[in-house]
Chain A
């Protein structure tokens, strides 16, 4: 019977009524659920970026279309908005962990508004893009990646909106503070995943000769 020496001995009988009824961070099942969902979406995004690189390797058929400066600027502004929303998100999580309802929802509101602004700019960008998904393969990969990230952002904004509605209008329970943290995980992912995508899809063509 080999049980490793450093495994703690089994408690014979355990009274659970003394345990807290809620926990944050990696102690919480929901946190892991969201983290795994993030892993799935991150894999999806990674696959699309790798596909871009793979297709780009077919040099003779690839057409590195440079985006106009106004689109690049718009993309950078969107990225800036996303990055700016990270601070308020982190603040709302800190407030949630401390159980401070008003601070939690105020910071979350700020973050959500920044995200919504970013989506509004993205609508503008959609109208400015000079190629469509059916223009060529590069257009297809661009729009698919762009579309995936936009879907993530829309989900994030909607989810934050729902949490805000709950925090402002509903019966707030302790576990809803955990929901704030879960939503924040998704939000950080939305910001992080766009960094390599921005670099590859928008700025990589600048490195190619016209």
Chain B
């Protein structure tokens, strides 16, 4: 039977098969690999920036290049690394954790990846041609508008946004529908792994937050291209409108990056503490609450803009309140860790690194929530320190732990444990040494986004120290990169469940066969693999000559009906190409969009027109009921 399944679910060989790939495991890996390549690029940009800042008036990098570097660094890290890597982890792990064979919309996941690549290529093509954006990743108007940013630099930024947000929105829809409808029978919504809950909340956040940046960047592109006045105060527009719209997106965005990291901690802890995460309900409620409250704090990025004090105070309150659910999650994890029979492998080390690092960022976040305090340190290196502490501590550390944790599942090989430990310590020490001094620099008056500073400022020594330590941080990350490349070929072979973990992805071989589960499991608890094997069941009766899966009900995951998932297809690539061409041409002429529509119609027909063996109407299949 496994041969039949393999034949049905395998994509074939060769370039054509690679381009037509729709398996979530492959697309997930592509997302993660591509995202880490952008991470490396962003890291190099950061090292160049730090080199420039290591001495006053260093002359390594001039103002224009520096401004392009920090804009590209921020845009790369936020749009081309942080969100896509979480898209990748979700794409890879969620179906496996749910006992599913693929995402609900396989071709949409392929489209999601291709359109992301288009966005990344656009940004870096721009950067290499000196047409890359230079007005900051946040692109405040009027600096980013037609009057003060001539040329195509900020149009590259605006369209890069379009591509990456389309990608994320597509992944979000896919994840939600998969989580709602393709769970293994018996995996009621309160039995889902906590990482799946995190991705569910994050996916909903993407659905409601990303439209804001798409609208904002489109309005900016229109102001620049066809003379609209959204942000032209002389004709009734408003620069604060940009800020509100952008931050309404961008604050949830950082939680979109951060919550999957928290979910990964919940996923990693059981294997290394031999306990289920304590307080499942608390963690779920905390995740959901964070998702909601994240939409109510955005004005804390605008405290210096002079909005009414009462409004500012409300946002101080909400920004303080959002600490509570995250704090509760941390307390639940501490309770899980407390005097547990720990196994100090690299994944757990990175989780512990999260605690000592993220909490610093969380506390400086509490400081920044206070308007009086924020008015001094806003737009200084203090904020640079804060944001890196929360994003690297809160998302990248768990992510690196996740890399060491799931690499065996994805590739069938273990990463080198000694290298992992060295990488961890260098990353932990290097990160903290690089970024902690920035708090002091901010308090001593050093703003952000400055390409140089005066010799008499007194900022020299801390900047130099930070730069040297950035090298240590870079080395730590590099060791993990090398570890991945070397272990891919030569790592110790991994069995299905090398960590003796509790969730369903560890029930399949490493790497998973193209059909994931030979028989879709049925589930009776929150930790299926820690149950008695005799209490586990399977689903029988699904076709092996079609990509058939069972669809379950939303809350209880009771089996509802069968459906066929889409197979390999070239149309997602074409659709991404049409999207790419359309929006890139629209940087130069408004006819780009009608052109995209015109090209898009045949692509949509190709995508959706039925092909292959039909299931005829009112099929005469044994026991089938008409709908």
Do the two chains touch directly in the complex (Cβ atoms below 8 Å apart)? Answer: yes
Q: Smallest CB-CB separation from B590: which chain A residue?
A: A133
- Contact check, A166 vs B610: say whether CB atoms are below 8 A apart: yes
- Contact check, B539 vs A14: say whether CB atoms are below 8 A apart: yes
Which stretch from A58-66, A78-86, A120-128, A188-196 is at the chain B interface? Answer: A58-66
**Min C-beta distance of A17 to chain B, whole Å:** 3
Q: How far is it, in angstroms, between the C-alpha of A120 and the C-alpha of B626 when the chains are bound?
A: 39
Pick from A14, A47, A162: contact of B540, CB below 8 A: A14
Q: Smallest CB-CB separation from B208: which chain A residue?
A: A43
**Min C-beta distance of B622 to chain A, whole Å:** 7
Type the 1/0 row for A9-40, where 1 means its CB is closer than 8 Å to any CB of B: 11111111111111110111100110011011
Residue A73 CB within 8 A of the other chain: no
- Contact check, A162 vs B615: say whether CB atoms are below 8 A apart: no
- Contact check, B180 vs A32: say whether CB atoms are below 8 A apart: yes
- Contact check, B627 vs A171: say whether CB atoms are below 8 A apart: no
Q: Which residues of A contact B551 (CB under 8 A)?
A: 23, 27-29
Q: How far is it, in angstroms, between the C-alpha of A141 and the C-alpha of B182 when the chains are bound?
A: 41
Q: How far is it, in angstroms, between the C-alpha of A6 and the C-alpha of B30 when the chains are bound?
A: 40
- Contact check, B229 vs A23: say whether CB atoms are below 8 A apart: no
Residue B149 CB within 8 A of the other chain: no
Pick from A7, A41, A136, A175: contact of B236, CB below 8 A: A136
Q: Which residues of A contact B490 (CB under 8 A)?
A: none
Q: Which residues of B contact A54 (CB under 8 A)?
A: 238, 241, 244
- Contact check, B539 vs A171: say whether CB atoms are below 8 A apart: no
Q: How far is it, in angstroms, between the C-alpha of A139 and the C-alpha of B248 when the chains are bound?
A: 24
Type the 1/0 row for B241-264, where 1 means its CB is closer than 8 Å to any CB of A: 100110010000000000000000
Q: How far is it, in angstroms, between the C-alpha of A41 and the C-alpha of B541 when the chains are bound?
A: 39
Type the 1/0 row for B600-627, where 1 means its CB is closer than 8 Å to any CB of A: 0100110011100011111101111111
Centre residue among A28, A40, A171 by max chain B CB count within 10 A: A40
Given A33-B105, A61-B233, do A51 and B222 touch, yes or no (CB 8 Å)? no
Pick from B177, B522, B526: contact of A33, CB below 8 A: B177
Q: Which residues of A contact B554 (CB under 8 A)?
A: 26
Per the CB 8 Å criterion, the residue count for chain B at the interface is 88
- Contact check, B604 vs A162: say whether CB atoms are below 8 A apart: yes
- Contact check, B230 vs A137: say whether CB atoms are below 8 A apart: yes
Given A9-B524, A10-B186, A32-B180, do A162 and B605 touch, yes or no (CB 8 Å)? yes
**Min C-beta distance of A55 to chain B, whole Å:** 6
Given A51-B241, A171-B614, do A36 and B177 touch, yes or no (CB 8 Å)? yes
Q: How far is it, in angstroms, between the C-alpha of A99 and the C-alpha of B618 when the chains are bound?
A: 8
Residue B23 CB within 8 A of the other chain: no
Residue B542 CB within 8 A of the other chain: yes
Q: How far is it, in angstroms, between the C-alpha of A158 and the C-alpha of B605 when the chains are bound?
A: 10
Residue A164 CB within 8 A of the other chain: no
Pick from A1, A18, A43: contact of B211, CB below 8 A: A43
- Contact check, B214 vs A44: say whether CB atoms are below 8 A apart: yes
Q: Which residues of B contact A76 (CB under 8 A)?
A: none
- Contact check, B618 vs A39: say whether CB atoms are below 8 A apart: no
Q: How far is it, in angstroms, between the C-alpha of A43 and the C-alpha of B276 when the chains are bound?
A: 38
- Contact check, A32 vs B176: say whether CB atoms are below 8 A apart: yes
Q: Which residues of A contact B241 (CB under 8 A)?
A: 51, 54-55
**Min C-beta distance of B194 to chain A, whole Å:** 14
- Contact check, A174 vs B207: say whether CB atoms are below 8 A apart: no
Quick one: which of B188-222 are within 8 Å of A by CB?
A: 188, 190-191, 207-208, 210-212, 214-215, 218-219, 222
- Contact check, B601 vs A138: say whether CB atoms are below 8 A apart: no
Main secondary structure of the interface of B (DSSP, over half): mixed
Which stretch from B11-19, B352-360, B558-566, B574-582 is at the chain A interface? Answer: B558-566
Given A3-B191, A32-B180, A137-B232, do A16 and B541 touch, yes or no (CB 8 Å)? yes
**Min C-beta distance of B293 to chain A, whole Å:** 18
Q: Which residues of B contact A134 (CB under 8 A)?
A: 226-229
- Contact check, B537 vs A44: say whether CB atoms are below 8 A apart: no
Residue B371 CB within 8 A of the other chain: no
Residue A4 CB within 8 A of the other chain: yes
Pick from A22, A43, A55: contact of B627, CB below 8 A: A22
Residue B42 CB within 8 A of the other chain: no
- Contact check, B624 vs A21: say whether CB atoms are below 8 A apart: yes
Pick from A4, A8, A24, A36: contact of B176, CB below 8 A: A36
- Contact check, A21 vs B619: say whether CB atoms are below 8 A apart: yes
Residue B235 CB within 8 A of the other chain: yes
Q: Smallest CB-CB separation from A134: which chain B residue?
A: B227
- Contact check, B177 vs A32: say whether CB atoms are below 8 A apart: yes
Pick from A14, A17, A101, A133: contact of B522, CB below 8 A: A14
**Min C-beta distance of B333 to chain A, whole Å:** 17
- Contact check, A19 vs B609: say whether CB atoms are below 8 A apart: no
Type the 1/0 row for A91-112, where 1 means its CB is closer than 8 Å to any CB of B: 0000001010100000000000
Residue A144 CB within 8 A of the other chain: yes
Q: Smallest CB-CB separation from A22: which chain B residue?
A: B627
**Min C-beta distance of A3 to chain B, whole Å:** 6
- Contact check, A20 vs B541: say whether CB atoms are below 8 A apart: no
- Contact check, A140 vs B230: say whether CB atoms are below 8 A apart: yes
Q: Which residues of A contact B180 (CB under 8 A)?
A: 29, 32
Q: How far is it, in angstroms, between the C-alpha of A158 and the C-alpha of B600 when the chains are bound?
A: 11
Residue A75 CB within 8 A of the other chain: no
Given A3-B526, A8-B556, A40-B169, do A171 and B211 touch, yes or no (CB 8 Å)? no
- Contact check, A37 vs B610: say whether CB atoms are below 8 A apart: no
Q: How far is it, in angstroms, between the C-alpha of A154 and the C-alpha of B593 when the chains are bound?
A: 13
Q: Which residues of A contact B208 (CB under 8 A)?
A: 39, 43
**Min C-beta distance of A160 to chain B, whole Å:** 13
Q: How far is it, in angstroms, between the C-alpha of A109 and the C-alpha of B208 when the chains are bound?
A: 33
Q: How far is it, in angstroms, between the C-alpha of A26 and the C-alpha of B553 when the chains are bound?
A: 9
Residue A209 CB within 8 A of the other chain: no
Q: Which residues of B contact A41 (CB under 8 A)?
A: 211
- Contact check, A144 vs B219: say whether CB atoms are below 8 A apart: yes
- Contact check, A140 vs B229: say whether CB atoms are below 8 A apart: yes
Pick from A20, A62, A171: contact of B625, CB below 8 A: A20
- Contact check, A138 vs B236: say whether CB atoms are below 8 A apart: yes
Q: How far is it, in angstroms, between the C-alpha of A176 and the C-alpha of B207 when the chains are bound?
A: 26
Q: How far is it, in angstroms, between the C-alpha of A19 and the C-alpha of B211 when the chains are bound?
A: 38
Given A21-B561, A27-B553, A136-B235, do A16 and B104 touch, yes or no (CB 8 Å)? no
Q: Which residues of B contact A154 (CB under 8 A)?
A: 597
- Contact check, B561 vs A14: say whether CB atoms are below 8 A apart: no
Residue B237 CB within 8 A of the other chain: yes
Q: How far is it, in angstroms, between the C-alpha of A62 and the C-alpha of B562 when the chains are bound?
A: 56
A-B contact pairs, 13 of them (CB 8 A): A3-B526, A7-B190, A11-B559, A15-B539, A16-B539, A22-B627, A27-B551, A29-B104, A29-B181, A29-B551, A47-B211, A47-B245, A140-B237
B-side interface residues toward A, CB under 8 Å?
Answer: 104-105, 108, 169, 172-173, 176-177, 180-182, 185-186, 188, 190-191, 207-208, 210-212, 214-215, 218-219, 222-223, 226-230, 232-238, 241, 244-245, 248, 276, 280, 522-526, 535, 537-542, 550-551, 553-554, 556, 558-563, 597, 601, 604-605, 608-610, 614-619, 621-627
Q: Which 7 A-B pairs have the closest CB atoms?
A: A10-B524, A17-B541, A137-B236, A10-B186, A134-B227, A140-B228, A12-B537
A-side interface residues toward B, CB under 8 Å?
Answer: 1-4, 7-24, 26-29, 32-33, 36-37, 39-41, 43-44, 47-48, 51, 54-55, 58, 61-63, 97, 99, 101, 133-141, 143-144, 154, 158, 162, 166, 170-177
